[in-house]
């Protein structure tokens, strides 16, 4: 099944390989977000800004990673991990009709031209720039559009609680032209974006099906737009990479500044190359920890001696610009009433569930600490049955 769609072309990857590398790239973002969020609770002074602007931080980080792999290996990080590469699609030129008398002349001209230049289908600088836009820029723009649509349409709160959380259209009679124009644009966006998103997803699905049945060499509409195909790396490609690494010219040691610059750039390049090794090592280490904590060895080791209690994480202090904390612990800081259906945010502070949901849905922050939060971070609290 892994070769389904590959056909007789050895360098043509199957659709399952291409989808796997796409899913791997999509899974890196939430995994890194989780790691940073965990450490941000212990070191909020250093990491809270990254958590608050995580989308921009991740896009900038992946820009340097993807640009390095596109320039060095002619593929994105996930594609290179799966042994794939990007090549420029051959241009299809319509040839004029050739008569029998002209056929010999055309054959002689083709023979005189000689074989095609090797490596002529490798990515150029402009191909790399286009690839970076569709690898990083387009997903970033779509995530922002999805986030904005959830905000103007009411999001999950409107779907869960009905019209109570749906933003009502304001009466703009007597308002300025700029205000009315902005409201009209928001209204058009709110009604039209679901159709645009549907076309976006259907275009991807259509190319998946077309690639699976060998109707198109492009498994993605974005690759069709920039004229790039994804192929399997051959043995010659691996030899070329090894030869390139061995024969890389060493820059002569000049001034101290140039020497430091070359060393730093070499260290960064080596660190980016090490990601290919770091990722499978991290997966193996995670699976090992998962097995260890579920095994009998961990249970025996944990009950062998006195177990020390793990101290709780450091409490995040209220922000000076956030809502003040009530004097009583059972009062919601948002509605200033007795907490009903208590719900905690990732910052550790407790609110009423409807108050917390609407606050996070509208502003995406904890109202007391101003820490970035999402609706998935809401945790409902339950009293002990005996209390």
* CATH number of the domain to which 337 belongs: 3.30.40.10
* Same domain? 19 vs 136: yes
Q: Is the pLDDT of residue 286 over 50?
A: yes
Question: Which has more pLDDT, 49 or 202?
Answer: 202
* Same domain? 278 vs 338: no
What CA–CA distance (Å, rounded) separates 157 from 150?
9
Give SS3 for 173. Answer: coil
* Same domain? 154 vs 292: no
**Average pLDDT for 52-65:** 91
Whether the full predicted model's pTM is greater than 0.75, yes or no, is no
Q: Could you give the percent of the chain with pLDDT greater than 70?
A: 71
Least Cα distance to 135 among 276, 233, 22 occurs for 22
* Same domain? 282 vs 323: no
Report the range of poorest mean pLDDT among 88-97, 133-142, 160-169, 306-315: 160-169
* Same domain? 137 vs 224: yes
User: For residue 262, is it within any domain?
Assistant: no
Q: Could you give the percent of the chain with pLDDT greater than 90?
A: 24
Number of independent structural domains in the chain: 3
User: For residue 265, is it within any domain?
Assistant: no
Bridge partners for 342 per DSSP: 352
pLDDT attached to residue 112: 46
Q: Residues 334, 362: contact at Cβ < 8 Å?
A: no
User: For residue 112, is it within any domain?
Assistant: no
Q: Residues 123, 75: contact at Cβ < 8 Å?
A: no
**Average pLDDT for 309-338:** 83
Q: Is the pLDDT of residue 254 over 80?
A: no
* Same domain? 295 vs 213: no
* Same domain? 193 vs 88: yes
* Same domain? 279 vs 208: no
* Same domain? 327 vs 362: yes
Helix (H) or strand (E) holding 285: helix 256-294
Per-residue confidence at 277, pLDDT binned at 50, 70, 90?
confident
Helix (H) or strand (E) holding 87: strand 84-88
Domain of residue 279 covers: 274-302
User: For residue 381, is it within any domain?
Assistant: yes
Q: What is the CA radius of gyration of the chain?
A: 28
User: For residue 195, is it within any domain?
Assistant: yes
Question: Which has more pLDDT, 208 or 289?
Answer: 208
pLDDT attached to residue 316: 82
Alpha carbon 59 to its chain's center: 8
pLDDT attached to residue 317: 84
pLDDT attached to residue 116: 41
Question: Which has more pLDDT, 324 or 112?
Answer: 324
pLDDT attached to residue 137: 93
Q: Is the pLDDT of residue 370 over 60?
A: yes
* Same domain? 176 vs 291: no
* Same domain? 197 vs 68: yes
pLDDT attached to residue 374: 86
pLDDT attached to residue 136: 93
The widest CA-to-CA distance across the chain, in whole angstroms, is: 100
* Same domain? 53 vs 133: yes
């Amino acid at each position: 099944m892994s070769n389904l769609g590959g056909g007789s072309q050895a360098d043509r990857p199957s659709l399952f390989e291409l989808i796997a590398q796409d899913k791997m790239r999509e899974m890196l973002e939430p995994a890194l977000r989780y790691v940073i969020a965990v450490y941000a609770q212990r070191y909020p002074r250093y990491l809270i800004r990254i958590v608050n602007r995580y989308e921009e931080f991740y896009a900038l980080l992946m820009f340097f990673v993807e640009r390095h792999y596109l320039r060095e290996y002619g593929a994105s990080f996930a594609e290179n991990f799966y042994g794939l590469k990007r090549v420029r699609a051959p241009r299809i030129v319509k040839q004029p009709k050739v008569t029998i008398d002209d056929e010999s002349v055309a054959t002689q001209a083709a023979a005189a031209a000689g074989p095609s230049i090797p490596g002529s289908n490798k990515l150029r600088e402009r191909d790399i720039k286009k690839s970076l836009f569709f690898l990083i820029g387009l997903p970033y723009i779509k995530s922002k559009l999805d986030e904005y649509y959830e905000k103007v349409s009411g999001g999950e709160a409107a779907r869960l609680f009905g019209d109570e959380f749906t933003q009502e259209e304001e009466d703009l009679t007597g308002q300025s032209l700029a205000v009315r124009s902005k409201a009209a644009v928001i209204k058009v966006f709110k009604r039209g974006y679901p159709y645009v998103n549907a076309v976006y997803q259907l275009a991807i699905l259509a190319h998946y099906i077309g690639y699976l049945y060998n109707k198109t060499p492009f498994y993605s509409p974005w690759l069709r737009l920039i004229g790039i195909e994804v192929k399997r790396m051959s043995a010659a490609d691996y030899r070329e990479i090894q030869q390139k690494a061995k024969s890389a010219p060493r820059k002569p040691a000049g001034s101290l500044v140039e020497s430091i610059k070359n060393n730093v750039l070499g260290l960064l390049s080596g660190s980016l190359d090490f990601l290919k090794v770091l990722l499978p090592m991290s997966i193996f280490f995670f699976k090992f920890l998962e097995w260890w904590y579920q095994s009998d060895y961990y249970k025996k080791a944990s009950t062998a001696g006195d177990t020390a209690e793990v101290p709780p994480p450091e409490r995040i202090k209220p922000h000076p610009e956030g809502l003040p904390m009530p004097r009583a612990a059972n009062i919601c800081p948002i509605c200033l009433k007795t907490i009903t259906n208590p719900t905690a945010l990732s910052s550790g502070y407790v609110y009423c569930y409807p108050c917390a949901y609407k606050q996070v849905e509208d502003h995406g922050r904890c109202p007391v600490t101003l820490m970035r939060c999402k609706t998935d971070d809401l945790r409902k609290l339950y009293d002990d049955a005996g209390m």
